[in-house]
Amino acid sequence: MKYYDHDHDVDMAWCPGCGNFKLIDAVKKALEELEIAREDLVMVSGIGQAAKTPHYINCSFFDGLHGRSLPAATAIKATNPGLTVVVESGDGCSYGEGGNHFIHAIRRNPDITVIVHDNMVYGLTKGQASPMSRRGFMTPVQVTGVYMEPFNPLAVAISLNAAFVARADCGDEEKTKEIIMAAVRHRGFSLVDVFQPCVSFNKINTYKWYKDNSYYLDETHDPGNRDAAMKKALEAGPFPIGVLYAHDTNKTFEQNLAAYGADSLPLYRRKPDMPELIKLIESKR
Amino acid sequence: MNEKAIEYRHDISIVISGEAGQGIQTLEELTATAAKSKGYHVFTYSEVMSRIRGGNNSTEIRISSKRVDAYVRRIDLFIPLNERATDRFRDRITENTSIIGDRGHVDCSFTESGCSTLYVSRQEIIDEAGNIRYFNSAVFGFLCGLMEINETEAGRILSGRLKSKDESNLKKNAVALAIGYRWRRDPSVGGRIALTLAPSESAKTAPRFYGSEAVGIGALAGGCNFLSSYPMSPSTEVLTFMAAQAARFGVVVEQAEDEICAINMAIGSWYAGGRAMVTTSGGGFALMCEGVSLAGMSETPLVVHVGQRPGPATGLPTRTEQGDLNLVLHAGHGEFPRAIFAPGTREDAVELTCRAFSLADRYQVPVFILTDQFLLDSSALAPDLDTGRLSAESHIISTEMGYARYAFTESGVSPRGIPGHGEGIVCSASDEHDEGGYITEDFGLRVRMMDKRMKKEEHLVRVAEAPRLYGPEEYRVLVVCWGSTVTAIREAREKLKIMDLSVLHFRQVYPLHPETAGILSQADHRILVENNATGQFGRLLTLHTGITFQDTVLKYDGMPFSVEEVADSLSRILNRKHSGGEKK
């Protein structure tokens, strides 16, 4: 049994062959190899099939509302900066319902890792378009095909100067694990968009499609070069896989908070300062 | 024109009116500070238009020899700061009002209403201080003179408040202040008014704050260390207050991108061991409703401050109303327990906001502080504030291996662990879950989990705040109110002097105290007073007790109840009954 496996039976809600199985293995291996103690880890998710991932990992988790994982994760990290916070949710949850939080969480730059299961479709609601669906993708709702420009999370993240921006393909478990490890290690907001086929509702973007339509970045790509990263992020066929952008220049959200200016204790270890509060009330007398 | 001096022996109501950006707020602060330093009780209420410059804003300042915290319609002294300042006050200026202002600012038609017009000259300010913007300092000097505060003391208060400590600026303000004192001594102006209030030591030593500060102080006392919010009048002042105190008290304060983020941040913080609050108003709170439901399901404590303003939609952004009780009462899909406090005074706001944190933590439920623009933006002394009663209970446990976040217990309350504190793991889910926090679709377990969560309501009822009675224990007429309307109603009761009339004030509107039905049924005649159009709280009381109200007094024009308005309404109702009107 592996460190992050449950010691009880788990009834996993995923379809046979789902990309989530490969991704969860990569995540568990990455966390294990990083030697993160179980009690120091919190996984945060929203709603959807991907968002069930934390339930299948033996660790603390906060599985909140659809689209709202980032506000919760940001606050958890700010409340106890000693915790390692990893967010996992789908492309609908992260980029659709939670689109506004995605933008502003990047701007805030909490030291968290965000893994997005990108299958270009809504699975749990049975096959509607996601913000990542390609043009022309037919669904029971988009009956004449998707006509909207697909969302580009990597370009958006780079434009907002996110600390770490990467793409992985869960078909390659080993490489995915390595990218996730680099993301968790990196200080600041780390985004890993993971190609993850939905075998039930997306017959177009399959394991094979993702493999045929992507390539790994090689050592000629400099992740410290924002312009080069942006150029790579705009490539949409084939899609580059790997670390597009990584830099370590901005202060994290937690580091910017006045609450940690004079005191590094997590919030739960603090008591209200009544003498100081009495002084404040006295100043109103 | 009446040349006799007008004497104010108990209480004076001063209204200063001008446009946004003219420094009315500063003048209000200065005057209140000066009155308190003299040993007078003081109350201020400013009303502003939803704009940054221009328009017409005003402040009412009541200075009194005894506790004062209600809004009055009466204006004893009216001070216009520009030519349009009198426009909106035509119906409040009477023969008992004295207007002090420049000839260009006082509409001459007012002299016909019989009010006393005491003219001063703004030209004096321009000539001697060099700029009309020092006019407010002269008004302040005049008011200090009226309160018999010596000029040195007034100068000290004024310079303490000035942003620019530049020598020439201080000097010009001092010149203007002296002009104000001159107006006071002028027999045709200030000489015609006498303020002979009795000062008291208790007023000198009582703290004075705005309702918004009281909410903030209460939060800090309750151990609040995380505040995430999106600005929205009238709740923003709480956000501002907490931001100013963030470094001093170690509070994480974050302006969220929207209210949905704000509430999900607050819930995340509580999950990780923080004590979080959001501050918002009706429209913003409407966006938070799914989050409230998440707090209910995940049994995460949560404190939400909702400062009401008139809706629907954007409504009257800078005005007051009690229109959001139903919203807060029913916010969030599904069924789960909650508690709602409704402070009436600054003391209440401190005490109940503080208590909200302990209550939320103890029973792992959302707790609401429901205030309104009137309470938040008015200031008064809080002589009854007992800081000894403020405390912050914490109910976090250190987890052991095998810890289950939602373990079944007799009380329905599971010991609450947080991640990173102990050997266990803490799993929290918005889906229905088992004891460990893992998703379940087991129907039997669903029922047991619902029963466990709903059982907490019994505790909330048991510890509910009892309503407060003002007036005789034996009453025939009972005036029922909640939240901020209590101050005007209390003062109206004192004014009316009706022997068998009492006022019942609910500081907690949900769940209701178990004795509520008994207290209500003791009265022959129940009158409901609410600052809304439909009597939301009255309906809630009827729903829970089966007891109805014979009369209702409702107000929803965006302004708070004045003492006179309440007194007039009650007199009208009671006179009708006494003169043979049939009882329903």
ipTM of the complex: 0.98
Look at residue B222 in the predicted model and tell me its pLDDT.
98
Q: What is the mean pLDDT of residues B252-266?
A: 98
Q: How far apart are CA B396 and CA B418, in angstroms?
A: 7
Instruction: Give A38→chain B minimum CA distance, Å.
Output: 8
What is the rounded distance in angstroms from the CA atom of residue B59 to the CA atom of residue B260? 34
Distance CA B41, CA A187 (A): 55
- Which of B210, B230, B251, B257 is best to mutate for the A interface (most A CBs within 10 A)? B257
- The distance of A101 to chain B (nearest Cα, Å) reads 7
What's the confidence (pLDDT) of residue B21?
A: 87
Handedness of CA B47, B52, B54, B55 (dihedral sign): negative
Please name the member of A61, A72, A267 whose beta carbon is closest to the beta carbon of B267. A72
Region B287-302: mean pLDDT is 98
The label of the residue with tokens 């409901």 reads: B528
CB of A282 within 8 Å of a chain B CB? The answer is: yes
B510 CB-near residues (< 8 Å, 6+ apart): B329, B338, B339, B340, B540
Say yes or no to pLDDT of A1 above 80: no
A132-178 residue pLDDT tens: 999 999 999 999 999 999 999 999 999 999 999 999 999 999 999 99
The residues near A31 (Cβ < 8 Å, ≥ 6 apart) are: A3, A4, A41, A57, A59, A86, A184
Nearest CA among B484, B427, B361, B349 for reference residue B70: B484
B111: pLDDT strictly greater than 80: no
Amino acid at B492: A
What is the arithmetic mean of pLDDT over B136-165?
93
For residues B561 and B485, what is the distance between their CA atoms, to the nearest angstrom? 7
Chain A: residue whose CA lies nearest to B401? A39
Using CB atoms, which residue from A39, A82, A271 is nearest to B425? A39
- Tell me what pLDDT residue B188 has: 86
- Whole-number pLDDT of residue B86: 85
Please name the helix (run of DSSP H) or strand (run of DSSP E) that holds residue B205, with its range, or none: helix B201-205
* Token code pair at residue A182: 């680099």
User: Is the Cβ pair B226, A267 closer than 8 Å?
Assistant: yes
Please state the rounded mean pLDDT for residues A186-215: 96
- Average pLDDT for residues B405-417, to the nearest whole number? 98
pLDDT (0 to 100) of residue B5 = 76
Confidence of residue B583 (pLDDT cuts 50, 70, 90): very low
Q: Which of B206, B260, B419 sits opposite A68 (nearest CB)?
A: B260
Nearest-CA distance from B173 to chain A in Å? Answer: 24
Cβ of residue A284 closer than 8 Å to a chain B Cβ: yes
pLDDT tens sequence across B262-287 = 999 999 999 999 999 999 999 999 99
Low-confidence winner among B7-11, B41-45, B59-63, B69-73 (lowest mean pLDDT): B7-11
Q: Strand, helix or coil at B187?
A: coil
Q: What is the pLDDT of residue B163?
A: 79
Is residue B578 scored above 70 in pLDDT? no
Residues in chain B closer than 8 A to A70 (CB atoms): 261
CA–CA dist B554, B528 (Å, integer): 8
Report whether A167 contacts A239 (CB < 8 A). Answer: yes
Touching check for A267 and chain B: CB below 8 Å?
Answer: yes
Contact A75 B267 (CB under 8 A): yes
Q: Do A71 and B268 touch (CB under 8 A)?
A: yes
Residue B115 reports pLDDT greater than 90: no
Residue B3: its pLDDT value, please? 55
**CB contact (8 A) between residue B258 and residue A100:** yes
Q: Do A262 and B246 touch (CB under 8 A)?
A: no
CA atoms within 13 A on the CB side of B199: 13
Q: Beta B226-229 vs B525-530: how paired, if at all?
A: unpaired
What pLDDT was estimated at residue B106?
85
Quote the DSSP letter at residue A5: S
Confidence of residue A31 (pLDDT cuts 50, 70, 90): very high
Q: What is the DSSP string of B506-542?
A: ESEEESPPTTHHHHHHT-SEEEEEESSSS-HHHHHHH
Provide the 3-class DSSP secondary structure of residue A42.
strand
pLDDT of the residue at B154:
97
Confidence of residue B576 (pLDDT cuts 50, 70, 90): confident
Give the span between the Cα atoms of B239 and B261, in whole angstroms: 15
The DSSP symbol for B435 reads T
Number of neighbours of residue B170 by Cβ within 10 angstroms: 15
Q: Are B247 and A261 in contact (CB under 8 A)?
A: yes
The residue with tokens 């809304």 is B532
Tokens of B489: 């109603």
The number of angstroms, rounded, from the C-alpha of B133 to the middle of its chain's C-alpha atoms is: 31
Give the 3-state DSSP-derived string for B310-346, with helices as H, strands as E and coil as C: CCCCCCCCCCCCCCCHHHHHHCCCCCCCCEEECCCCH
Shortest CA gap B168–chain A (Å): 29
Partnered with residue B426 across adjacent β-strands are none
Q: What confidence score (pLDDT) does residue B189 get?
A: 84
Over 90: is that where the pLDDT of B249 sits? Answer: yes
How far does B171 lie from chain A, in Å, by closest CA?
27
